[in-house]
Chain A
Amino acid sequence: MNRSIMKTGLVTTFALALAIVASGCGGGASAKTTVRYRPANPDAIGGDAVAAAATPTEGAVTAPGEVAAGGVGSLTGKVVIQGDFQPLPARYAKGAAPKDTEVCGVEQIPDDSVVTNDGGLGNVFIYLAKAPKVVPAAPATPVVFDQKSCIFKPHALVVQTKQVVKILNSDAALHNTHTYPSRNSSFNQGVKPNDQMGVDLVYTRPESEPFQVGCDVHPWMIAYHLPVDHPYAAVSGPDGSFEIKDLPAGKHEFKVWHEKGKLLQKSLSVTIKPNEPTVIEIPVPASKLVP
């Protein structure tokens, strides 16, 4: 399953748009398809509704150019678990979901609180602690937040403020999406069964740390959202790898956060050189991931 997540993770809504940006800027450092927001469970993103929304928009294309006066570079890296960590058993085996079993039981429900593959740690938020003075406008394309087989997809979601989060329900059962932000108003609406039009959720204020999102009908359903007021944020894939593109050159402070270990790094200092990828490794002691 992890493998399939990785594969699809590389092809996303933004792939096209960013490819154009990269070549358009003439940076030339990398023309391969990369993502800016890479959800941990990107198979949530897919299907016709989303593909239709993937048309690059002007804001997303031109905006990064404005901040790139001193040149831009990318930050790539991997979050690595140090020490022994036994992968968590599934929360419910296939067909064992205690509620709405005919819908929730179609696949096993994993315990997403620690996702690891190949020694890497997934679902880690890596984000710039403070927005730079000039920030590109939020992309007009929405991010999709789906609920399928009573699992939130993706489990960890980073979104720019004012960008639309489209909440879908791919299950034939009612879900309610309940957010617990600290600076934004909380949101709690029922999303009707099989809703592919979705409910739009917009965060107006940035948060300093990710917050929990749940479904009160199915208490095991938990995800994390992080609205930030800039595009310089990523969520690590299951193997712990992440990439943040188009960072203005210079010194930056990042925060690193994981739902079990909470704030792993309060200010991770990284210097970005123009047109050059900076590669880092973020170690996380396994002890931090034990409840």
Chain B
Amino acid sequence: MPATDDYLRDPKRMHKIFALSAVTFLGVTVWMMWADYADEWRGFQRKAMSLIAARDKAKIAAIKQDPEYLKQSAEANEQVKSADQQLKDQQAELDTLQKQVSDLAQKSAATMRELRTKRAVRDVARATYGLKVRDNEPKRIQEEFREKYDKAEADATEFEQRFSTESAELVQAKAALAAVTAERDKAELRVKALNSDLARLSAAVNKIEPTSKFSALKRDFMLWPIINGFNSPERIQQDWMPRLEISLGGMANVQRFDRCRTCHYMIDAVDIGTKPGFPHGSGEEGSGTFEHPFASHPRLDLFLTSASPHPMPKFGCTSCHSGQGSGTSFQNASHTPNHPVIEHEWQHKYNWFDNHFWEHPMNPKRFEESNCIKCHINVVELGHSPKFGATAPKVTRGYELVKTYGCFGCHEINGFEGTKIVGVDLRLEPAAEEAEKVANDPTQVAGKMRKVGPSLRHLASKSEQGWIENWTEEPKSFRPTTRMPQFFKLTNQHDKLAQDFNPVEISGIATYLLGKSQAMDLLSPKDGYKPDAARGKELFATKGCVACHTHGEMAGVNADFGPELSRIHAKIKPGKAGFDWLYTWIREPERYHPRTKMPHLFLDAQGEGDKYTDPAADIAAFLLKLEGSPADFKPTQEYALNTVDAAALDDLIQRFLVKLLTPGQIEEFMKTGKYPIPAKSVKGDEIELANGPDGALDPAEWHQRKLTYVGRKTITKYGCYGCHEIPNFETARPIGTALQDWGKKDRSRLAFEHIHEYLHHHGQPDLGMTIETLTEVDATRLHVEGGAGVRIRAAIPGTTPLAAIHVDEDKREKDALQPDDVILAYDGLAIVDAAQLKAQLRRTEPGTPVTLEVWRGGKSHVLQIAPDGSLEERVQEGLGKALRKEFKDPAEEERETSAAFYYESLGHHGRPGFLWQKLRQPRSYDFKMDETKPYDDRLRMPKFPFSEEDIDAIATFVLGLTAEPPNPEYLYNPTGPAGARIKGESLLQQFNCAGCHMLELPEFRYGADLEGLQASDAAAEFPLAIELLNKLKPPRNGLTGETMSVKSGDETKTLPVVGFHGLIAALPNPDDDPEDQEYVAELWENLKVGDKALFPTTKMIFPAAAMQTMLPARGGRYAEWLANRLLESKQVSQLALAWQASPPPLYQEGIKVQTPWLFNFLRNPEKIRHTTVLRMPRFNMSADEAQALANYFAAADGAVYPYQAIPQREPQYLEERTAELHQAFPEKTHDYLTESWKLLNSPVCVKCHAVGGRMPVSTDPAKDIRAPNLEMAGERLRPDWLLLWLYRPTWITPYTSMPQNFPPGKKNLEGLFGGDGNLQTISTRDALLNYHRLMERDGRIVYDPMTPATPPNAGGDAAAAAQPVNSDPVTATKAAAEADETGGSK
């Protein structure tokens, strides 16, 4: 078809369409670009920058208003001005000098330019000549080029010289000029320095909010879309951790990129030191705090900063917090709300939803410490660090709970893959049979944990069947504080089957344990010894028992390291046998179990005749409430035996055997008692059945055999051997799920079963009614006797009221709680308020029967209920209250929102929720399951007495167990002192060292009137003593940097807060006037407050109103209690003496004792102090443990270990001292040590110490201050410490009775070292360090200047001085001359 002029479409219309579509596409493009540009993070970053600018501007304003700055600045400007003025007078000279400088500068620059050319020419000539040499040109040509080079070189050298001359001249001229302008230059420098902060801040502000229009324009331009791809001020902040990979769930491990700082822009901003630049808080105007993401990290000393142990470039953010590091929006970062109330808030604010697709969601705040244990596999340093304090207390608590309750007995936590560390390691130590094999296997690392329960190997010598059954069924019914969990009477045991079988199982366990119990050698007190319970009580208090055990008769001290002993008399078997068991246990616990935690207390019998006492027997008598002889002992309670239903027993056995034998075999066996398989072929627990006697079936033996079998089966089933040593179970494996990677366990592998249905109606012990503390009005109205209780207010609508049984004598009738019932007691415990009742309810296992005493209709009734309510209802109520902000008590709000968090987690099949409910009600997952699963497959996890807070801590720990160690370089498993500290911390806990000893002293912080502080007088001391004090105890700054306002009389002062460590000497006396009430504390450390030095022993006295905080000591609760008890019971007259009688604080023990000595002492503690009422017991410590603990103390105090140099024993030192002695006292011919030995044997030390076999005279053993035998001092004490101790004993231990024997300014024993106290002190120390050598060489001597014929007269000094110094009054077993000779010959 030929072309025509016609258009197919109307061009005009087409133009419009094209135009429109062009505009639309443009619009879409713009929108696209905008959408790409308008990221969420930009808003955050912009606000962050404006906050930074605002803060800097405020700082600038503050500086500019600071009068000190204004004053200084004015001064400096004035200086500049006057310097300028002065220079004006020298204008001519200045001009000349300036001209000279500029001329010379020009000239030398010109020369330099020339010089560069000449150097180039020379270099070319050198190279060309080199080429000729290389090409082996004829000699002539080579020489020609050589000449050319020489000429160029000469030329260059000339210019080099010219330049150096000129630059020297220039330097001189500049110096001359500077000399003239020196004043002004200095003044200008000062101005600059003064303004440096301002300049820095202005520059920072200028970057964000430029002042010049051009810069502002440029900045705005750089923020434009597309342009902002090129170094824009707003950009993604990214940290790259190539060695900290992240696992993308089965796909690959990729390098980690964290972009968290894009929004958390100021996260690493520091203020002064490591204080957060933008402290976290409400962010309200004027609060000085900021909300996330505009806040800084709260612990910049610990994280992010380059000096911290976790610098940002190495650790990033997600390695600790988890979350999606690459995400740049709130949602994509995978933030996780801490509880549903926050979740609710986030949904509104950020459209938050739970993103299931990211495998590593951020840890909610409650689990923020979980990830710490990925690298900190030893955990203890997270709970106690000298530098950083308790940095992760919650995960540490979780770890400690797992350790204390022995979870690892059933749930192994294996921190090793072969020998490679993968995480926290908590495994039982191998049984004796396996230990050697494991030790010799290079591919295995042995577990280290001991079983947490007592050994049951010799159970029959301790208790009887009735008690054992009673205890096994419900341990807390005997001892409410026990850590033993409950295996019976739980939610999956309420049906008929379990009710029938449980008594059989319990009886079986007791039968098995008693039947297999092995005999042990028991000790007995001496025949006819009558134990004295009253004396036993005193010994129980003073011999250290209450450092680990609680006892009802010991008021004011509670310890839960060992079991509570108040009712031990109801547990031990009757008669002499029972008494002897306890006696043996107290006296030699290792007889019962060689690895027991109970130490050997050295409670040996002592005295003769009437004075004969046997402390262990007395203590046993006290504990057993024994009145007559041991043979008369009768337990204070009797226990009925379980009735074993024969049919149930047989039924149970048949159920066990059904997997092993045919129905026919079973039937035959039950009839004849002859096991169809020969005993030697039986491997499992059935061995108990197969080992029957031959001959006719004896019904009693048959019954016993069946019970034993059921017992053994039940022990296998419940894994009792995870905590207890039980015969035949030595090498049995833990029964529970291993936990080392539970934190990443696939959620689909958790059996939630019918838990939601259960929790809908159950799971929360509750009365189903609203309650309130009984008011006075109601008490009167209802005529309640006593007037205290909790009133039922009303039924909760929609809730089924709780069923109750009215118990009246032996009648039991159905009943129900009603409004206006007043609950007076709960399981025998008097109830006085609603909070207390709620606490009791929370502690109750839902569904277990509880007896209530109820006031109804003017009299008291007994009702039995099984408190059970709906967890869902509790959660809904809690959430409602939290959203409406109705909680008054933050702790309660925390508890309720936590419950809501876990409940919701359960709803989403989350690990935390599963764990929480598992620990609250371990058997609840069997709800409606027990109807369909075999009896044997029912859940077996026991119920532990954990509070919800405990469970939260355990969850934090367990969720951190992922067995996914980051790159090995990130594992924190240090060697050297840091490693020694970690090992030691574990051992301190293991042996409960802090039960007796204070490891750190209490800290006091108070508002101090600095002017009123009396500085210690250093001038009154020996200079060397001060030097040594500052070396061993470097002065610590007492100023905390805080201030507080203190009211005194009518005025209020703002005072600086001073913190110090010491012991309280006097508490405020409430009888005094308020303004006279004061604290008196004795300082133990070397403190510096401002320019005042305060030495130890300074009394810190401050008004009660000035006290800010008193942080308790670390450990030593028992020592404090004992000291106060001794003082109150008037056994000692002074607090200082009471402390000397108690376990000493191990304050700075590391600088005190020699590590090898401590090692031996820990293994076998000898008696050191005679003033203490008890002595250090012997723990069953392995050599490794003792070594680690000995190293710990040195490492903790920064002392050298494991070996210590003792220069005072070395010949060179001794020869120098001898030379000095001979020079100062030419008449002395013997050596230095001989002189020192005389000093040590002079009538000073020997007054209290045993020296050289001479015992100090004792006057009254109860009152004497008998000091330690000096024989051990040289091996025990470090030289520097010993010297400081001799200089000033109280600087080390303020309460000591050791006097300062050679004080400055006094002369004593002038026959020795001329009476110079300083020399005498050093010499005493040296004698002690060489004690054994001197004992061997010089033997026993007596040095007494008072004994010679000249009678002591009034002028004793004169007499001593007048004596011929060389004829020292020494009497010795060896002749003195002989001693001199041997000494002199050295």
- CB pair B1299–A216 under 8 Å, yes or no, is yes
Contact B1290 A188 (CB under 8 A): yes
Q: Residues of A contacting B1294 with CB < 8 Å?
A: 186
Interface size class, chain B: 35 or more
Distance in angstroms between the alpha carbons of A141 and B1141 in the assembled complex: 39
Q: How far is the CB of B1140 from chain A (nearest CB, A)?
A: 10
Tell yes or no: A289 within 8 A of B by CB: no
Whether A219 and B1357, one on each chain, are in contact in the complex, defined by CB atoms closer than 8 angstroms, is: no
Inter-chain contacts of B1302 with A (CB < 8 A): 190
**Complex contact B1356–A193 (CB within 8 A):** yes
Q: Is the CB of B1080 within 8 A of A182?
A: yes
Among B1066, B1080, B1346, contact of A193 (Cβ-Cβ < 8 Å): B1346
A108 to B1244, CA, bound (A): 24
Chain A residues in 8 Å Cβ range of B1248: 216-217
For the complex, is B1265 an interface residue (Cβ under 8 Å from A)? Answer: yes
Q: Which residue of B lies closest to A204 (CB)?
A: B1014
Within the assembled complex, what's the spacing in Å between the Cα atoms of A145 and B1331?
37
If the complex has contacts A178-B1297, A195-B1356, are A220 and B1306 also in contact, measured as CB distance less than 8 A? no
Contact: A196 with B1354, CB < 8 Å?
yes
Q: Determine the residue in chain B with the shortest Cβ distance to A172.
A: B1352
Rounded to whole angstroms, the CA-CA distance of A220 and B1257 in the bound complex is 14
* Interchain pairs with CB closer than 8 A, number: 100
Asked if A186 contacts B1101 (CB within 8 A), the reply is: no
A19 to B1359, CA, bound (A): 39
B1259 at the binding interface (Cβ < 8 Å): yes
- A residues 169-186 with Cβ under 8 Å of B? 172-174, 176-178, 180, 182-186
Measured between beta carbons, the chain A residues less than 8 angstroms from B1097 are 185-186
With A and B bound together, what is the CA distance between A182 and B1308 in angstroms?
30
Query: B residues within 8 A CB of A217?
Result: 1247-1248
Known A174-B1243, A174-B1244, A190-B1244; judge A180-B1136 contact (CB<8 A). Answer: yes
**Mask for B1261-1285, Cβ within 8 A of A = 1, else 0?**
0011100000000000000000000
The listed residue (A176, A180, A184, A266) touching B1299 by CB distance below 8 A is A176
Give the nearest-CB partner of A188 in chain B.
B1299
Pick from A190, A199, A266 the residue with the most CB of B within 10 Å. A190
Give the nearest-CB partner of A259 in chain B.
B1133
Contact of A273 with B by CB under 8 A: no
In the assembled complex, A252 has its CB within 8 A of some CB on chain B: no
- B1025-1076: which have CB < 8 Å to A? 1065-1066, 1071
Question: Which residue of the partner chain A has the closest CB to B1260?
Answer: A219
Contact A199 B1306 (CB under 8 A): yes
Q: Is the CB of A192 within 8 A of B1308?
A: yes
CA distance A204 to B1101 in the complex (A): 13
Choice from B1136, B1301, B1355 contacting A186 with Cβ under 8 Å: B1136
Query: How far, in Å, is A200 (CB) from chain B's closest CB?
Result: 9
Q: Which of A194, A195, A218, A219 has the most CB of B within 10 A?
A: A194
B1257 engages A98 (CB within 8 Å): yes
Does B1300 lie within 8 Å of A189, measured CB to CB? Answer: yes
Question: Which A207-250 residues sit within 8 Å CB-CB of chain B?
Answer: 212, 216-220
Q: Does B911 have its Cβ within 8 Å of any Cβ on chain A? A: no
Q: Which of B1135, B1299, B1300: most chain A Cβ within 10 A?
A: B1299
Interface majority SS (helix, strand, loop, mixed), chain B: loop
Complex alpha-carbon distance, A186 and B1299, angstroms: 11
**At the interface, yes or no: A94 with Cβ under 8 Å from chain B?**
no
Contact A172 B1299 (CB under 8 A): no
CA distance in complex: A121, B1071 (Å): 27
Q: Is the CB of A192 within 8 A of B1259?
A: no
Task: Judge if B1098 is at the interface, Cβ distance under 8 Å.
Answer: yes
State in angstroms the CA–CA spacing of A188 and B426 once bound together: 51
- Known interface pairs A180-B1134, A185-B1097, A219-B1264. Does A194 touch B1247 (Cβ–Cβ under 8 Å)? no
- Smallest CB separation, A271 vs chain B (Å): 21
Say yes or no: B1065 contacts A218, CB within 8 Å: no
* Residue A260 interfacial (CB < 8 Å): no
Beta-carbon contact of A172 and B1356 below 8 Å: yes
The reply to whether A188 and B1297 form a contact with Cβ atoms under 8 Å apart is: yes
What is the CA–CA distance of A216 and B1136 in the complex, to the nearest angstrom? Answer: 13
- For B1133, list chain A residues within 8 Å (CB): 212
CB neighbours of A192 from chain B (8 A): 1306, 1308-1309, 1356-1357
Find the B residue at minimum CB distance from A219.
B1263
Q: A266 — nearest CB in chain B belongs to which residue? A: B1071
The reply to whether B1134 and A212 contact each other, CB–CB distance below 8 Å, is yes
Q: Is B910 in the interface zone, CB < 8 Å from A?
A: no
Q: Is the CB of A178 within 8 A of B1299?
A: yes
Q: Mark A159-176, 1 if CB is under 8 A from B, else 0.
A: 000000000000011101
How many angstroms between the C-alpha atoms of A123 and B1301 in the bound complex? 30
Contacts of A183 in B (CB 8 A): 1066, 1080, 1099, 1101
- Kindly list chain A residues whose C-beta atoms are within 8 Å of the C-beta of B1265: 216, 219
Minimum Cβ distance to chain B for residue A114 (Å): 16
Say yes or no: A190 contacts B1098, CB within 8 Å.
no
Q: Which of B1065, B1098, B1300, B1357 contacts A188 (CB 8 A)?
A: B1300
Q: In the complex, A193→B1301 CA distance in Å? A: 12
CA distance A174 to B1352 in the complex (A): 13
Q: For the A-B complex with A182-B1065, A193-B1346, A194-B1352 known, give 19 more contacts whose Cβ atoms are closer than 8 Å.
A: A98-B1257, A99-B1257, A172-B1356, A177-B1299, A180-B1135, A180-B1136, A183-B1101, A185-B1098, A188-B1298, A194-B1354, A194-B1357, A194-B1359, A195-B1357, A197-B1357, A216-B1265, A219-B1260, A219-B1265, A220-B1259, A220-B1260
Q: What is A's interface to B at a CB cutoff of 8 Å?
A: 98-100, 172-174, 176-178, 180, 182-186, 188-190, 192-197, 199, 204-205, 212, 216-220, 266
Could you jot down 29 A-B contacts, CB within 8 Å? A98-B1258, A99-B1257, A99-B1259, A178-B1297, A182-B1080, A183-B1099, A183-B1101, A184-B1099, A185-B1097, A186-B1290, A189-B1300, A190-B1299, A190-B1302, A190-B1303, A192-B1308, A192-B1357, A193-B1346, A193-B1356, A194-B1352, A194-B1353, A195-B1357, A199-B1306, A212-B1133, A216-B1265, A217-B1247, A217-B1248, A219-B1259, A220-B1259, A220-B1260
B residues sitting closer than 8 Å to A (CB atoms) are 1014, 1065-1066, 1071, 1080, 1097-1099, 1101, 1133-1136, 1243-1244, 1247-1248, 1257-1260, 1263-1265, 1289-1290, 1294, 1296-1303, 1306, 1308-1309, 1346, 1352-1357, 1359
Q: Lowest 8 A-B CB distances belong to which pairs? A: A194-B1356, A176-B1299, A172-B1352, A192-B1308, A216-B1265, A98-B1259, A190-B1301, A188-B1299
